Structure 1
Amino acid sequence: METNAQLWYIMREYISSAEERGVDPTDLISFLLELSFHTQGAAYSLSTLTEVQRVAIMDLMELGLVKLQQGRKDSWFIPTKLATNLSSSLSDSAASKEGIVVVETNFRLYAYSASKLHCEILRLFSRVEYQLPNLIVGAITKESLYGAFDNGITAEQIISFLQQN
């Protein structure tokens, strides 16, 4: 099951149990959709939230949808990529089809993807060391970059691809 489908399955159960906890499900759905339009990685003050939303934030933190940041006087929540992807379509999410690429500071890359296209794009500018189902491990080397540049791929295109994924 794809990540978005799993996430919405959990959210559906969370919403359906809201009435048992004395929470209006429409308020909860509204808050979840509002959260999905927040900026990933930006800090938002907890003091602006209602009590129901604060309780929901604590639950969402347990699920990895938000991180909490404690200050001296105030606290903030920071939406993660999971939270900002809540509003994306379950069937047509390009990100879920292509996956996520993690590049370490030593230029090793890990691509979580089942897409053959995604793998072939990575091969254009990196050396793929091995490929498992849903995981591609490789490295961005000087030689692989020179090969990409020889084929007309620019550094800006490579950086843009990595930032989008």
Structure 2
Amino acid sequence: MRTAIYPGSFDPVTFGHLDIIKRASKLTDRIVIAIAAHSGKSPLFTVPERIEILNATLEETELPAPCEIVVEGFDTLLIDFMKKHKAQMVVRGVRQYSDFEYEAQMAALNAKLSDRDIETVFLAANPEYQAIASRFIKQVARLGGDVSPFVPPPVIAALNGRL
């Protein structure tokens, strides 16, 4: 079974994230969505809340290919999380060149730290999702703006309950 890890903060999950999940489902048999507990950011939602929101979102999401999806939090090195799941691939979405530069550095670091062969697959964001970033979603929601074009209903409900 081919397993991929899709790591991120997902605070909150956006339609851009869902697009990457859908596209990655065509490339592997199993995706473990790894919600980082130590991302260096100040999250709006706890890891358990993000897991709950993402699972609720995935229940409403139709995948284009048969693929098992698992959502877990992690607070270890990504390569250790990959070993735990016997994963061969990391999936990363990139919106612009600056994302790619950062992600390429992380891919090189993970390759150096790992004693296994790890592939990092970069999926370019679809143009309609390139401007979507979780930090902007939170800002728009805090100011009372409509975030429905950018996030699924479970996220809207969670934002409304939190802000």
Same fold (TM over 0.5): no
Higher relative contact order (CA 8 A, sep 6+): 2
Q: Which has the higher helix share?
A: 1
The TM-score with structure 1 as length reference comes to 0.27
Larger Rg: 1
The TM-score with structure 2 as length reference comes to 0.28
